[in-house]
Amino acid sequence: MIYADDGSLSQEQRLMRDSCRAFVDDAVTPFIRSNWQREWDMSPGERLPRSILEGAETIGVRTLGVPEAHGGVDLEHDTEVRTFALISEEIARGDSGLADKLVQNWKVSILLREFAPKHLQDKWFPRLLADPQFLLAHCLTEPRGASDRWLPYNVPEAAMHTKAVLKDGHWVINGRKQFISNGFDASLYVVYANTDTSVGMLQGTSSFLVPRDTPGLTVTKCNETMGCRFMNNGELVFEDCRVPADHLLVQNTALGSAGKYFRAGKIIQAAKNLGVGVACFERTADYVQNYVQGGRILIKHQAVALRLADMATRIEAVRSLIERASRAVDEGHPDMDALCNMAKVYASEEIMKVATHALELHGGNGAMLEFGIEKLFRDAAIFLHMDATVDVSRMKIIKTMFPATAGKYAGPEN
């Protein structure tokens, strides 16, 4: 119980899960538990010590998605999303911010692998592999519009404000991106920008590869968030930022082409969220079996036991849905779009309840920064709107379930 069922996993998946768990138990959890103040270091560059990413390197988890030819690892394609889910859950069980740092790398590596010309892959994959601190970021969200853009209004007026224009063999990018995971730390970005103002977002958005040191790109700030604080969320400004023409990854249909990744992204999001829930359960189960109140350990008080049962039940339900949804994506099942959004939104709400129980079952200790339970609570809260809000996710479910009616008003995703 509580953990992924061995029976449904391949041998490789089990071994990967074990390596990730060992790394988290040996390095991540002890760091988080004994350095709780570090989270509140307002110098974001110093917050997570370099040794943690170096440690992540020893299990090879930063470079998933990099093709084997470039020194990365090719997962089994027919179970790739399930494997991503398993790994991200395990890392997030230690720290969801660290998990997000790594996940962004997988996401951008896949885009690079799928869409970048060979000479750019030859240039960037070796750099990514050589430096454990090398991070990637995916820049979609803007100050005026994020997941709400997906809803609906596939009309020119809802297009991205960031624009790219081809001029003298270079794409010139102007605009602003915010709430970008890894945005503050990344060395290489994939940036989405409008390249055709006459059509809707789905037909007029292109994606570009932008190295951090490109003139015209400024990382303006690190957003201080309530949870997931070991991932430095950043804000970027593009002012006549010029990249060579070959840095275009996908022209005009970038959002549709990235769909392949967006589904896996939803599952990973749900799985990270689940990892936070598992950590809540482990900590709480341990606490209520050791902490004595009124002469007996807490779990022997029935009211406590009932809450713990509720935590376990919600975790199992979330896990079941994630497993079904990840299988659907791996198998290309027609319901996959609805299922991956269901998994994402369901996980965010259920694990929030799990985290609430954890907080309450710890009594006063639950509120103490030093105890680390409130961190799990804050980390859980982030998932309610990270990578689409609860309401937007629900809209997308209905849109895919009823394409002829709700879908028509909202427009297809690809």
Partner 1 sequence: MRIMVAVKRVVDPNVKVRLLADGSGIDLTGLKMTMNPFDEIAVEEAVRLRELAIASEVLVVSIGPDKATETLRTALAMGADRGLLIKTDAPIEPLSVAKLLRAAAIEEKPDLILLGKQAIDDDCNQTGQMLAAQLGWAQGTFASNLAVEGDAVTVTREVDGGSQTVRLVLPAVITVDLRLNEPRYASLPNIMKAKKKPIAERQPADYGIVVEQRLEIVRLEEPAGRLAGIKVGSATELVERLRSEAGVLS
HSE (CB half, 13 Å, CA atoms) of 277? Answer: 31
Using the minimum distance from each CB to partner 1, give the nearer residue, 3 or 153. Answer: 3
Q: How far is the CB of 18 from partner 1 (least distance, A)?
A: 7
Rounded distance, CA 146 to CA 406, Å? Answer: 20
Taking CB under 8 A as the binding criterion, the range among 6-14, 230-238, 304-312, 369-377 that sits at the site for partner 1 is: 6-14
Note whether 72 binds partner 1 by CB under 8 A: yes
Note whether 54 binds partner 1 by CB under 8 A: no
Q: Which of 22, 69, 155, 166 binds partner 1 (CB under 8 A)?
A: 22
Q: Which of 36, 38, 60, 216 binds partner 1 (CB under 8 A)?
A: 60
Q: Which of 8, 14, 165, 167 binds partner 1 (CB under 8 A)?
A: 14
Nearest-10 Cα torsion for 368, 369, 374, 380: 180
Q: How far is the CB of 99 from partner 1 (least distance, A)?
A: 14
Note whether 155 binds partner 1 by CB under 8 A: no
Q: Given the structure tokens 């899960």, which residue do they identify?
A: 17
Q: Given the structure tokens 């059509």, which residue do they identify?
A: 199
**Residue 230, token pair as written in the block:** 């070991």
Q: Which of 8, 35, 58, 414 binds partner 1 (CB under 8 A)?
A: 58
Q: Restricting to residues 240-269, which ones interact with partner 1 according to CB under 8 A?
A: none
Taking CB under 8 A as the binding criterion, the range among 7-15, 105-113, 258-266, 302-310 that sits at the site for partner 1 is: 7-15
Residue 199 CA: distances (Å) to CA of 50, 135, 137, 158, 410: 45, 33, 27, 10, 15
Taking CB under 8 A as the binding criterion, the range among 40-48, 72-80, 154-162, 166-174 that sits at the site for partner 1 is: 72-80
Note whether 23 binds partner 1 by CB under 8 A: yes
Using the minimum distance from each CB to partner 1, give the nearer residue, 153 or 291. Answer: 291
Rounded distance, CA 302 to CA 298, Å? Answer: 8
Terminal-to-terminal C-alpha distance of the chain: 38
Size of residue set near partner 1 by CB under 8 A: 23
* Region of 147 on the Ramachandran plot (φ > 0 left; ψ -120 to 50 alpha; else beta): alpha
Note whether 69 binds partner 1 by CB under 8 A: no
Q: How far is the CB of 319 from partner 1 (least distance, A)?
A: 15
Note whether 132 binds partner 1 by CB under 8 A: no
Note whether 302 binds partner 1 by CB under 8 A: no
Which residue, among 367, 385, 364, has the nearest Cα to 376 in the 3D structure?
367
Cβ pair 362, 373 in contact under 8 A: yes
Using the minimum distance from each CB to partner 1, give the nearer residue, 26 or 224. Answer: 26
Phi, psi of 208 (to 5 degrees): -135, 150
Using the minimum distance from each CB to partner 1, give the nearer residue, 22 or 369. Answer: 22
Q: Which of 59, 81, 339, 380 binds partner 1 (CB under 8 A)?
A: 59
Note whether 397 binds partner 1 by CB under 8 A: no
Cβ pair 38, 95 in contact under 8 A: no
Give the x-and-dash track for 76-105 against partner 1 (CB under 8 A): -----------x------------------
Note whether 64 binds partner 1 by CB under 8 A: yes
- Contacts of residues 167-170 at CB distance under 8 Å and 24 or more positions apart, as own/partner, are 169/244, 169/245, 170/242, 170/243, 170/244, 170/245
Q: Which of 19, 203, 251, 389 binds partner 1 (CB under 8 A)?
A: 19
Taking CB under 8 A as the binding criterion, the range among 22-30, 209-217, 267-275, 280-288 that sits at the site for partner 1 is: 22-30
Dihedral sign of CA atoms 200, 113, 63, 242 in order: negative
Note whether 309 binds partner 1 by CB under 8 A: no
**Residue 42, token pair as written in the block:** 């307002």
Residue 274 CA: distances (Å) to CA of 4, 54, 347, 374: 11, 25, 7, 16
Per DSSP bridges, beta strands 233-244 and 205-211 are: unpaired
SS3 string of 142-155? Answer: ECCECHHHHCCCCC
Q: Which of 33, 54, 73, 320 binds partner 1 (CB under 8 A)?
A: 73
Taking CB under 8 A as the binding criterion, the range among 58-66, 159-167, 194-202, 333-341 that sits at the site for partner 1 is: 58-66
Taking CB under 8 A as the binding criterion, the range among 13-21, 186-194, 207-215, 355-363 that sits at the site for partner 1 is: 13-21
Residues that bind partner 1 (CB under 8 A): 1, 3, 11-12, 14-16, 18-19, 22-23, 25, 58-61, 63-64, 72-75, 87
